């Protein structure tokens, strides 16, 4: 008897049981490669993950609200020997934005960042004064889709102090200067599959906002980066402590230099619908690791 097709679970969340629309573009290319891909919600009790040749994290867009539970799920797959992509080591590392400290230590330019927790908190006004930042962005180190991310300034720091302290009391926080280039020129997302550059997208916020996500009114369009930008994004992935199948490098060009804002190695949108054959390239990368 010939073996059946290989099976891959594309892990998603309860509010997107059939995957995000962009991720569904993977199903047909995988089918053509002899891989049966199925959307599977990550958290129900009783799912037999062992029947799959691999699990690829995709639309798990609730993980940051349930971090401990999500990482327990990652650990359970690992302990059972279920192949998970990206690898458990990469997922754990990327789940907290404090990984940017290691990226910076490796010599990769990032957006300047102050790390704040309950033990180190001073006033927001003092922090901005020390750094010389007229405007800044505050966000938790565990978040996605601009969750609890907001903009402040020296002139507003006093009235934002209570909000700042309440956030720090709940979780560690990062504060970064407001990057004007995101508004003026856009934020780059460069996507890699199986170690190879695939395509890039330029994201812009709506007028009057700083958040580039579509759910906040932002826009996204396919764009062609120059070779130096691709090289900078590739170099930014070198500090990643483990094997990865897919990666998205988010950043902006400041004074002619690419600065990393985030490395997206957990459940990023990969903008498959914005680039010809991107879904095919991702499908081939998945098939290659089976």
CB-CB contact of 267 with 67 (8 Å): no
Rounded-to-integer distance, Cα 56 and Cα 39, Å: 10
Q: Are residues 270 and 219 part of one domain?
A: yes
* Predicted pLDDT at 19: 97
Entry field: residues in the chain:
290
> Which among 164, 161, 182, 184 has a CA at the least distance from the CA of 173?
164
Q: Strand, helix or coil at 177?
A: strand
The Cα–Cα gap between 221 and 28 comes to 23
Q: What is the pLDDT along the chain (290 residues), one digit of tens a residue?
A: 455 689 999 999 999 999 999 999 999 999 999 999 999 999 998 899 999 999 999 999 999 889 999 999 999 999 999 999 999 999 999 999 999 999 999 999 999 999 998 877 789 999 999 999 999 999 988 876 556 788 898 998 999 999 999 899 888 899 999 988 888 888 999 999 999 999 999 998 877 676 677 766 678 999 999 999 999 999 999 999 999 999 999 999 999 999 999 999 999 999 999 999 999 999 999 999 99
**Residue 144 shares a structural domain with residue 259:** no
Q: Are residues 146 and 187 located together in one domain of the fold?
A: no
Q: Are strands 6-12 and 35-41 parallel, antiparallel or unpaired?
A: parallel
As for how many domains the chain has, the answer is 3
* pLDDT at position 53: 97
- Report the pLDDT value the prediction gives residue 4, as an integer from 0 to 100: 66
Residue with tokens 């006004």: 125
Rounded-to-integer distance, Cα 251 and Cα 188, Å: 5
Does residue 285 form part of some domain? no
Where residue 124 sits, what CATH number does that domain have?
3.30.1490.20
Same-domain check for residues 121 and 147: yes
Say which CATH number the domain at 40 has. Answer: 3.40.50.20
Contact 260, 270 (CB under 8 A): no
**For position 217, what pLDDT does the model report?**
67
Q: Report the distance separating Cα 112 and Cα 176, nearest Å.
A: 6
Within a domain: residue 33? Answer: yes
Do 200 and 106 sit in the same domain of this protein? yes
What integer pLDDT is reported at residue 5 of this predicted model? 82
Residue 18 DSSP class: T
Smallest Cα–Cα separation from 240: which of 48, 106, 62?
A: 106
Indicate if 142 and 186 belong to the same structural domain: no
**Claim to verify: residue 75 and residue 163 sit in the same structural domain:** no
Distances (CA, A) of 102 to 55, 218, 231, 240: 27, 29, 19, 9
Residues with Cβ < 8 Å from 236, sequence gap 6 or more?
A: 103, 108, 249, 251, 260, 263
Nearest one of 15, 118, 103 to 62, comparing CA atoms? 15
At 145 the pLDDT is 59
Q: Which domain, by its residues, includes 32?
A: 6-92
Q: What is the DSSP letter of 51?
A: G
pTM for this entry: 0.93
């Amino acid at each position: 008897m010939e073996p059946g097709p290989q099976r891959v679970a594309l892990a998603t969340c309860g509010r997107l049981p059939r995957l995000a629309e962009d991720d569904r573009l993977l199903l047909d290319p995988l089918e053509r490669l002899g891989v049966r891909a199925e959307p599977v919600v990550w958290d129900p009790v009783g799912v037999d993950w062992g029947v799959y040749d691999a699990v690829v994290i995709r639309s798990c867009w609730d993980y940051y609200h349930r971090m401990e539970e999500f990482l327990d799920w990652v650990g359970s797959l690992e302990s059972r020997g279920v192949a998970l992509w990206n690898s458990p080591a990469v997922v754990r590392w990327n789940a907290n934005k404090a990984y940017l400290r290691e990226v910076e230590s490796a010599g990769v330019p990032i957006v300047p960042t102050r790390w704040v927790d309950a033990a180190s908190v001073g006033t927001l006004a003092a922090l901005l004064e020390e750094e010389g930042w007229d405007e800044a962005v505050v966000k938790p180190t565990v978040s996605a889709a601009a969750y609890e991310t907001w903009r402040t300034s020296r002139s507003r720091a006093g009235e934002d102090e209570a909000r700042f302290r309440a956030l720090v009391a709940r979780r560690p926080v990062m504060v970064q200067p407001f990057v004007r280039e995101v508004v003026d020129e856009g934020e780059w997302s460069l996507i890699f599959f199986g170690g190879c550059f695939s395509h890039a997208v330029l994201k812009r916020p709506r007028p009057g906002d700083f958040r580039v996500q579509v759910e906040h009114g932002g826009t996204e369009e396919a764009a062609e980066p120059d070779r130096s930008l691709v090289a900078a994004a590739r170099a930014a992935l070198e500090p990643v402590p483990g094997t990865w199948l897919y990666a998205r490098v988010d950043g902006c060009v400041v004074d002619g230099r690419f600065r990393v804002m985030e490395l997206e190695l957990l459940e990023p949108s990969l903008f498959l619908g914005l680039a010809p054959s991107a879904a095919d390239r991702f499908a081939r990368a998945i098939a290659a690791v089976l």
